[in-house]
Structure 1
Amino acid sequence: MDKMKVTYEAMLSLAAEMALDEAVRKFRAERIYREIDQSLVAGDEDTFYRLAKELNEMK
């Protein structure tokens, strides 16, 4: 019974870590999309390409 509890806790911890990683990834992607939009409005080509590269590296 104790071994099952340890296994369950490990699986629960892994699931929580995966959910947190996904939330952080979504947050970063949304931030990058906003900054890309701002760079397009400002006509800042260098920032646009840098952010587009960063976004592609996330995928």
Structure 2
Amino acid sequence: MPQTTGQERSYRVWQRDALAILMDDRSKVEQKIDYIHLNPLTERWNLTDRPEKYYWSSANF
């Protein structure tokens, strides 16, 4: 792995992660979007009954 400079660290937006998943397939992207949209509906959170009704959801788009 190449060395990182202090300047790169200053401008880095995303954290480097050994468990990162390459989003190189439409099905992977759709699975992650579904997870984001359906998470407020899970029993653990139970924030709404429909993804579109959750205030912070992008499901309507």
TM > 0.5 fold call: no
Higher RCO (CA 8 Å, separation ≥ 6 residues): 1
Higher helix fraction: Structure 1 or Structure 2? 1
Bigger CA radius of gyration: 1
TM-score, normalization: structure 2?
0.30
TM-score, normalization: structure 1?
0.30
